[in-house]
A and B are shown apart, each in its own frame.
Chain A
Amino acid sequence: MFRVLFVDDEPQILNGLRRMLSGSKERWQVLFAGSGSLALQMMEVSPVDVIVSDIRMPEMTGPQLLREVRRLYPATARVVLSGFADEAMIRDTIGVAHQFLSKPCDAGAIEQVVRALAAARVRFPVAELRRMAGDGTCIACAGTDRARLLEEVADPAATVRTIGAIVRGDLGMAARTLHLVNSAFFGISRCVGCPEHAVQLLGVERLRALATSATAFPGVRAGDDPGFREPAVALHAERVAALARAIVEAEGGSKAMVEQARLAAQLHDVGRLMLAAEFPARYRAVVDRSSAADREEVERGEFGASHAEVGAYLVSLWGLDGEIAGAIANHHRPATCAAGFSVLTALHAADALVGEASGDRHTALDREYLAAIGLGDRVAGWSALQAAGASVVAPPATVGAGDDPAREATRAAWPSDA
């Protein structure tokens, strides 16, 4: 049975949650602990799937508890529920908490969060990869990019623009930044799909504190293949995001949908990053023995899940909108959930068209799917958008791609389906 554990030093809070969740139609087992040490004792008897903890508690604080939970039970989804607004303490939760809920929080919203986590868990049954995604350190950023970020924030003249240029150039950094603004860590919590916009929302001062805190942007671990973290990955994500946005706008989608499509596109390859970082040799072997057509099948055979499913699970852990997780999970095979024009349609088409143009054909355009939802005639127009937009999305100027032979070499190491 799906188990949820609430931890708060205020018994009235636990009473309220217990009553509110009593009589729920969900078949969850709901547990309550008045302190961090009690929570750990309970988990020792039987681990839980979700832990929802207050931040400020006497003796063991929320961040201390969640850090311990991450170490002992990395697969457990970790959620913070706190009315506390001290930035330093909130920074402590970054990297150890997947989601941040602000007190007072609508009772229904808490139930909804747990429900979404339960659903993600059902969809993604691979325990090994759940541990990997839950641990979260696999979405580290490149050591060199982290060094550049540290150098930049140490400069008093740093601006959101100069920091944004570094963040958008590293997929791990971009992903973490989007994570922070799309969950309520700093009370921002809105759907933002553009890393530079996310940097702007966080602000220079906060990024300065985040960059130097080590937990927000962990550097790449020893033994990781740096080839997977090069600007080409980030650049691909950015191009797909630009085209997905253009496609949604062309199809008359709402502003919210535009932002969802950008966010899904920015994060659609996060699963590749994670698998490549966690299992460098195995993932390289998978790339070597698969082609664009059977890549997902080979990934499933090797790991039990494809990179698309791994990425979708991660964004579910972060509590991003279900549509975004769905689009990421199915961006190679949109036909499985054929409906009208959706975020998934935009992501799939953008990924395929950008791939075609750049010679990285790991997603083949599913024309049958597009025809089935009545959009078969749009491909030419979208291709034109791609051609028009390709020049707009240039690599971040400060990265200097192409002028450094070493970088070129590692760039070439990115597994290409071409």
Chain B
Amino acid sequence: MRFMFIVTSSHQGGPSEALLTEMHKLADREIKAGRMLDNAGLMPLAAGARIRVAGGELSVVDGPFVETKEVIGGYAIFELPGRAEALASAKEFMQLHKDFMPEWEGVCEMRQVAAGMS
């Protein structure tokens, strides 16, 4: 089953050096174990835009968005046997944040990908 992890945080600025190092180690292990298929961090919201349809109108708003508190920082795609493995994997990833950047707060959303290999 394929899963997508999406990390959201209100934390300003990027991860600490220590956390980055640990995340790279974990990503490297997961790639070598054949579980992680793809991952990336996202550029700051200021470089993005929102294209919205509401009330029959299409509008484009360039970033940054002053009202936005939570920002998606990155994603990863995993191929795992099941939900239990996905949960274990996401928890390990978030524990790294807790251990190596204690002031960081955020959410990792774990979602199963609908199509593709099951």
A binds B: no
Which residues of A are at the interface with B, using a C-beta cutoff of 8 A?
none
Which residues of B are at the interface with A, using a C-beta cutoff of 8 A?
none
